[in-house]
Amino acid sequence: MTPPLAPELVRATVHDPHAEARARFAAAVHAGLAKPHKRLPTEYLYDERGSALFDAICDLPEYYPTRTELAIMRAHVDAMAAALGPNATIIEYGSGSSIKTRLLLDALERPAAYVPVDISAEHLAAASARLAREYPELRIAPVAADFTRPFDVPVRGVGRRVVYFPGSTIGNFEPDAATALLRQMARLVGPGGSVLIGVDLRKSVDILEPAYDDAAGVTAEFNLNLLRRIARELGGDLDPSRFRHRAYFDAEHGRIVMTLVSRCTQLVHVAGRRYRFDEGEAVITEYSHKYTREGFAALAGAAGLRVAQVWTDPAEWFSVQHLVAG
């Protein structure tokens, strides 16, 4: 009779995706909190509740990006569809609720497939199921993944590839990381392939800051939800009520900085490690870079992408840009 396997060996060979995801989350949190200027990983703002709160933010009067981008899409979607051509496979990075996508899918000539990619797995599954009911003819292949890491596109050999990246999510990345992400998109679509991307533009601080610190406190709730998630999923004694939301415009770098500020001096345990927060110490949770048209063209150029067309609203608050891989 074969002797039973030692428990250690069994554990070592069992593939547990939840344990891996938790270990990645813990590692990212530890790496950020160990920095001299503490940071938390932006992509973890989006669990099921975070995604629902983001949808609520999109409806706020102060949050101009969503309604402005939607207005640009409504006004110019036919020109966008013509530029992207027929039979396209649309790969959407950070698809969320896929609201803007519907405008694009309606305008495109015979789209071949739609591949929404999002880190918020439950939200992605629900959004994809809704979309599948509305577009029964369309092949929809959702991918729950971190788009900054290599992922498989489950649709091969159908149509030319187009990356769609709305929502100004590119603004969450610092310039080097943004260039790396754009370069990865250029590789994914291949020479002559397209990227359709939403890019938020520079504007008055009086418009920018309230968009990230609304009167109803929904953005504050979205931000603090990250601490709730850390406490729930990683364990420890992190108490979200001991932090407050603060967002401000950093003129030197042309970006909104979203932070959580410690209300007191405190020692906090997270996933078995201890961190000290001084009273008033800020932890950065998100950047949102605001570009000039020239600044973004330079960033795209460094990634091997040429700006072919730019559509904006009359006030030039936001842009949707068509980039072509060289």
Nearer to ligand SAM, 123 or 268 (CB): 123
Beta strands, E only, the chain: 88-93, 113-118, 139-140, 143-144, 160-165, 194-200, 243-250, 255-262, 266-270, 273-277, 282-289, 305-312, 318-325
Nearer to ligand SAM, 46 or 212 (CB): 46
Size of the site for ligand SAM (CB under 6 A): 20
- End-to-end alpha-carbon separation of the chain, Å? 63
d(CA 199, CA 58): 16
Please identify, among the stretches 114-122, 133-141, 203-211, 252-260, the one whose residues bind ligand SAM according to the rule CB under 6 A. 114-122
Contact status: 47 vs ligand SAM (CB under 6 A): no
Nearer to ligand SAM, 227 or 268 (CB): 227
Please identify, among the stretches 115-123, 199-207, 254-262, 303-311, the one whose residues bind ligand SAM according to the rule CB under 6 A. 115-123
Contact status: 96 vs ligand SAM (CB under 6 A): yes
- Binder of ligand SAM out of 68, 89, 95, 225 (CB under 6 A): 95
Between 155 and 174, how does the x/- string for binding to ligand SAM read (CB under 6 A)? -----------xx-x-----
**Shortest Å distance, C-beta 67 to ligand SAM:** 11
d(CA 108, CA 180): 28
- Binder of ligand SAM out of 29, 68, 77, 100 (CB under 6 A): 100
Contact status: 119 vs ligand SAM (CB under 6 A): yes
Contact status: 51 vs ligand SAM (CB under 6 A): yes
Token digits of residue 262? 């410690």
Contact status: 25 vs ligand SAM (CB under 6 A): no
DSSP annotation string for 39-108: B--GGGG-SHHHHHHHHHHHTSTT-HHHHHHHHHHHHHHHHHHHHH-SSEEEEEET-TT-HHHHHHHHHS
- Binder of ligand SAM out of 25, 46, 173, 296 (CB under 6 A): 46
Closest-CA residue to 187 (of 136, 217, 247, 147): 147
Are 81 and 194 within 8 A, CB to CB?
no
**Shortest Å distance, C-beta 284 to ligand SAM:** 15
Q: CA of 68: how far to CAs of 45, 205, 229, 297, in Å?
A: 23, 17, 31, 20
d(CA 99, CA 77): 14
- Binder of ligand SAM out of 148, 184, 266, 309 (CB under 6 A): 148
Per CB under 6 A, residues contacting ligand SAM are 43, 46, 51, 54, 58, 66, 94-96, 100, 117-120, 146-148, 166-167, 169
